[in-house]
């Protein structure tokens, strides 16, 4: 089912959202900030594990972070020893924050769907990331433009890391979000010159489910979320720690999940 929730215009939307600068603005705005810290911890863990399995070490590499937000991943890349770090965001408020807190990174204000990203950021990046970003590019033609930009700045053989739902049903519009099907993502990435090399589930119980294989499984997972969410709101730190452990254990053995997933794609030579 397709439904529109808001009239989404990206730049003013994100400027309004970043009127308050905390992790609920770049992360899940309906969940407490202490809980969002656990969500980011889980996302970073899945990303590091996937890069390791792909035989990719970021130490000494050039990394481009698209939709850098408040810099949760910029901190990660610095700890892992990247040689060159560039962050891009559409929000002036986010860019100002990043420049204050990440002096070692080059930070640019940019809409990644506009032409000639390479002119502004350069080329030859070993890893380009768009983590919780591209589902906010709700127009398919602009997504194609963003992916063309990403291909132009990523070296042949370099990686793109992205988060999305990769639905096992048709793509859906939700105002400021477009959840795309796995098939649509496969076609869009192939059209931009990328081949998918890995896909891994991130969350199982930590966030609301959206993509279960059967209605029965969806009902069960949604029921579990309705029980968990009040405790997350009341005790975000302990709930985050507990569910982080549970999702980590499940993610070690499962290849599909009911929610957000990480995808790695390699730019073809």
Question: Are 64 and 155 contacting, i.e. CB atoms less than 8 angstroms apart?
Answer: no
Instruction: In whole angstroms, give the CA distance from residue 102 to residue 175.
Output: 32
5 in a structural domain: no
- What is the pLDDT at residue 5? 52
- What is the pLDDT at residue 4? 44
Range of the domain at 65: 10-267
60 in a structural domain: yes
1 in a structural domain: no
3 in a structural domain: no
Sheet holding 62-66, edge to edge: 106-109, 84-89, 62-66, 125-130, 154-164, 261-267, 194-201
- What is the pLDDT at residue 213? 87
175 in a structural domain: yes
Read off the tokens for 223.
Answer: 């029921």
Instruction: In whole angstroms, give the CA distance from residue 152 to residue 215.
Output: 41
Question: Are 267 and 157 contacting, i.e. CB atoms less than 8 angstroms apart?
Answer: yes
4 in a structural domain: no
Please report, for residues 71, 86, 199, 239, the alpha-carbon distance to residue 106 in angstroms, rounded to integers and kept in the order given.
12, 5, 29, 36
- Name the residue with tokens 């970043």: 18
- What is the pLDDT at residue 173? 93
Number of domain units in the chain: 1
Indicate the pTM of the whole model: 0.94
2 in a structural domain: no
Instruction: In whole angstroms, give the CA distance from residue 43 to residue 202.
Output: 6
- What is the pLDDT at residue 19? 92
- What is the pLDDT at residue 6? 60
Instruction: In whole angstroms, give the CA distance from residue 137 to residue 152.
Output: 18
- Name the residue with tokens 């609920």: 24
The domain spanning residue 253 has which CATH number? Answer: 3.40.50.150
73 in a structural domain: yes
Query: Each residue's pLDDT tens digit in the chain (269 positions)?
Result: 344 456 799 999 999 999 999 988 999 999 999 999 999 999 999 999 999 999 999 999 999 999 999 999 999 999 999 999 999 999 999 999 999 999 889 999 999 999 999 999 999 999 999 999 999 999 999 999 999 999 999 999 999 999 999 999 999 999 999 999 999 999 999 999 999 999 999 999 999 999 998 999 999 999 999 999 999 999 999 999 999 999 999 999 999 999 999 999 999 98
């Amino acid at each position: 089912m397709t439904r529109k929730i808001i009239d989404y215009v990206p730049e003013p939307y994100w400027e309004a959202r970043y009127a308050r600068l905390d992790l609920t603005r770049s992360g899940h705005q309906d969940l407490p900030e202490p809980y969002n810290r656990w969500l980011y911890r889980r996302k970073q863990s899945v990303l590091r594990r996937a890069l390791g399995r792909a035989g990719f070490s970021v130490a000494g590499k050039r990394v481009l972070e698209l939709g850098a937000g408040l810099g949760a991943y910029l901190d990660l890349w610095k700890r892992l020893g990247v040689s060159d770090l560039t962050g891009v965001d559409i929000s002036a408020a986010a860019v100002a924050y990043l420049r204050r807190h990440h002096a070692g990174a080059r930070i640019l204000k940019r809409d990644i769907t506009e032409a000639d990203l390479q002119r502004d950021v350069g080329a030859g990046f070993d890893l380009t990331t768009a983590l919780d970003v591209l589902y906010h590019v709700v127009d398919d033609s602009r997504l194609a433009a963003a992916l063309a930009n990403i291909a132009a700045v990523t070296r042949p053989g370099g990686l793109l890391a992205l988060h999305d739902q990769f639905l096992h049903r048709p793509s859906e519009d939700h105002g400021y979000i477009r959840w795309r099907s796995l098939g649509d993502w496969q076609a869009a990435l192939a059209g931009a010159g990328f081949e998918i090399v890995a896909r891994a589930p991130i969350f199982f119980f930590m966030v609301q489910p959206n993509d279960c294989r059967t209605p029965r499984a969806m009902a069960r997972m949604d029921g579990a979320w309705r029980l968990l969410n009040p405790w997350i709101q009341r005790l975000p730190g302990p709930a985050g720690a507990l569910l982080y452990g549970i999702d980590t254990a499940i993610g070690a053995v499962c290849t599909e999940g009911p929610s957000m997933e990480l995808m790695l794609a390699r730019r073809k030579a």
